[in-house]
Amino acid sequence: MAAEDGAVTIYSGSAITDAKKNPYSLKVGLAQMLRGGAIFEVTTADQAKLAEDAGACSVIVSDPPRAQGISRMSDPALVKDIKRAVSIPVMAQSRVGHFVEAQVLEAIGVDYIDESEYLAIADEDHFINKHNFQTPFVCGAQTLGDALRRVREGAAIVRTQGDLSGSGNVAMAVKNVRSVMGQIRLLNNMDDDEVFAFSKEIQAPYDLVAQTKQMGRLPVVQFASGGIVTPADAALMMQLGCDGVFVGSDVFNCSDPYKRVRGIAEAVRNYNDPHVLVETSSGLSGLMAGLDLGEDRIEHFGRGHGGV
C-alpha cells in the first residue's frame, strides 16, 4: 500500500518507498533488528560498556543530570566517546522539530535518532520530516493516532511512552500500551467504511490505518518507556504486545548495576518464561533503594538528566 505524499512500509520488509534516496524500507529493517531487546539510557562510556556486557540491544545517550536549563541534544563529544566504547547500536536524542540537531547527530554517525519529547520542544507546530534523513528515527506516542502520524513523517520505531515526570510509576506506560493495543483490536473488526471514519476520528492517514488493520499491529517496531525499573516491569510490557523496552539511567544507581541491567535484559528476552523471571527478579530488593514512588531522581529518562 502506498500514498502519494509519503512512504509506507509493510512490516515484513516489502516496502513501497522512494528507493533512490533514504529508503524507508531500509530504516524499518534496521529498526526491526532491535526487536526483543532492551535499550538503556546511559550518561557515560562506562555505563554503555556495562549495558553492552549485560545484554542491552542498544544504548541511548543522555547528558548527566543538570539542575536547571533547557534540555537539548547531548554533547556530540559524549556521543562519539560512547560510540567508540561499544559495538552495539547507539541512539541519541534531538528535540522535537529541531532538524538541525538531527543533522548534527546524523553527521557524527549515530545509529538511531530519538526525536524526544522528554527534551525541551524546539518547534511546537512541526515534527522533523524524517524522510529527509538516512538515519532511522524513534518517536514517542501515547495513542494510535499519534503513532501513525509519526510513521507518516518517517518514524521507524514508535516509543509508546508513559509517565514523563520521572516518578518511576509504570502505570501510565501500561495504560497507553493497552490503549493502543485496544484500538488495534477494535480496528480489526471494522469494515471498510468504519475504517475510513475511524481514521478521521483519530486523525491518522487512512492508508496507514488500513495497513494496521491488515497487519493486526503497528506497521513499525513498538517499544515501551516510562517507569520500567524491574525485570517484571519489562516482561509486563512485552506480554502486553511491545517489541522491546527503553529503560532509564537510574538502573545504574545501585551497588550492583550489572545485575539489575542483566536482569531486565534477560526478562525482555524470556518474558513468557516465569522460571527465568523468578531468577531475574531474585535478590534485587536491596538494589532497588531509591526507586520507590515519589523520589525525585527516579528514571529521569531524557529530560537532560535521564532517558526515554
Tell me whether residue 269 is in a domain.
Answer: yes
pLDDT of amino acid 287: 55
Residue 187: its pLDDT value, please?
A: 94
Query: Is the residue at 190 inside a domain?
Result: no
Q: For residues 76 and 83, what is the distance between their CA atoms, to the nearest angstrom? A: 10
Q: Does the residue 249 lie in any domain?
A: yes
Neighbours of 250 (CB within 10 A): 24
Residue 287 resides in a domain = no
pLDDT value of residue 139: 95
What is the pLDDT, as a whole number, of residue 304? 43
Block residue for cell numbers 502520524: 149
Q: Is residue 95 part of a domain?
A: yes
Nearest-angstrom CA–CA distance, 243 and 157: 10
- pTM higher than 0.75 for the full model? yes
**Residue 250 sits in a domain of what CATH number?**
3.20.20.70
For CA atoms 22, 126, 202, 37, give the dihedral sign.
positive
Residue 93 lies in a domain: yes
User: Is 7 a member of any domain?
Assistant: no
H helix runs in the chain, sequence order = 24-32, 45-54, 76-85, 99-107, 144-152, 171-188, 192-201, 206-215, 231-239, 257-269, 274-281
Q: Which structural domain range is residue 254 located in?
A: 23-171+219-281
pLDDT of 294? 46
| Domains contained in the chain, number | 1
Query: What does the DSSP assignment read for 209-228?
Result: HHHHHHHTS-SSEEEEESS-
| Spatial separation of the C-alpha atoms in residues 60 and 246, rounded to whole Å | 9
pLDDT, tens digit only, all 308 positions of the chain: 444 444 444 444 333 344 456 688 899 989 999 999 999 999 999 999 999 999 999 999 998 766 566 788 889 999 999 999 999 999 999 999 999 999 999 999 999 999 988 887 888 888 999 999 999 999 999 999 999 999 999 999 999 988 766 566 899 999 999 999 999 999 999 998 999 999 999 999 999 999 999 999 999 999 999 889 899 999 999 999 999 999 988 889 888 899 999 999 999 999 999 999 999 988 776 555 545 444 444 344 444 444 44
Give the rounded distance of the alpha carbon of 226 from its chain centre. 10
Q: Residue 107 domain-assigned?
A: yes
pLDDT at 16 (0 to 100): 36
